[in-house]
Amino acid sequence: MDNKITIAIDAMGGDGSPKKIIDGITEHNKKSKNIQYLIFGNKDVILKCIPKSLDNNCYEIIDTKNTVEGNDTPLEAAKRGKNTSMWLAIESVKQKKADIVISAGNTGALLVISKLNLNMIENIDKPALSALWPNKVGMSVVLDLGANIECNEKNLIDFSIMGASIFKSLYPEEKAKVALLNIGSEEMKGNELLKNTYQKMLGIQNSDFEFKGFIEGNEIMNGEVNVIVSDGFTGNVALKTAEGTANFITNELKNAFKNNLLGKLSGLLNYINLKKFKKRLDPRLYNGAIFIGLDSPVVKSHGATDYIGFSNSLLVCEKIVKGDLINKIKKNIYSEN
């Protein structure tokens, strides 16, 4: 039986593309051999970036000179036509030529073009943008991170089911524990939307996840839950706050250990622990947001990441396909409707 996974890749999106995209593919290919890469973009430029070490049989380049620009509005990106590298990559998933699609390009454009090309999973009203966050004991799936500013109770329940399905696809041996992000953990806290969703979630019987109630922002990293659900506005603010805090702590520690002799000595003595700390907060390790709710999986790599980050987002793609994410979502959504 052929278990090869085909990943469609928009090679022209994000900073430093297509070189960082090709370098990321090369890095990923060192560890994952049963992958076929469909690379969409300017063939002349891409060929100059491909190293001799990359097996010619593991990739195919689909040539197009048209690209979605980073400063395009979603409407402008859609108007650029069906010959952009992003559009063609997404279309290849629609046509079942690839199992999953990834781009480091314009986020708004990716979401809009994905919705134009791909159907929604039946019984899901809105897709959501999700990502991985580190916690004390492992990883959490957090959603929605900005695809939907306004949500209703059904949307939040759908996000919970989809988030749990992502977690089980990536970490099949662990139990998904779902919580709603709120201003307090008590049942009476929050707005009517959250309180009504809470009551409805209590009645859901699902073997794939356990509902743990509300969670506050300062508890996101404690590891007691691993699927955190909110509307897109709240989730995006939480994401940006967490990213900013991580960068602040890392930079302040770096400055403290190089400002004077005592700091340098302390840094030298604590080198191994500091290295572990820096690695734990390295955003490249958690690169790869997942646009879910559509009938094919779409992954968004951070535009500013390097080839290591892009390689890690390809690993997320691989795990999603191996974990049969879309069928997991369909099974769990249908059981609730």
The closest of 233, 231, 213 to 152, measured between CA atoms, is 231
* Interval 217-252: pLDDT, tens: 889 888 899 999 999 888 888 888 877 777 777 677
Token readout for 258 is: 């190089």
> Angle of helix 271-280 relative to helix 261-269, nearest 10 degrees?
80
144 cis-preceded (ω within 30 degrees of 0) = yes
pLDDT higher than 80, residue 301? yes
Q: Is the pLDDT of residue 56 over 50?
A: yes
pLDDT at 271 over 60: no
Q: What b/e sequence results for 248-262 when a residue is b if at least 16 CB atoms lie within 10 Å of its CB, and e otherwise?
A: eeeeebeeebeeeee
Per-residue pLDDT, averaged over 318-330, amounts to 91
Domains and CATH numbers, the chain: 1-119+294-323 (3.40.718.10), 125-292 (3.40.718.10)
Q: How much is the pTM?
A: 0.85
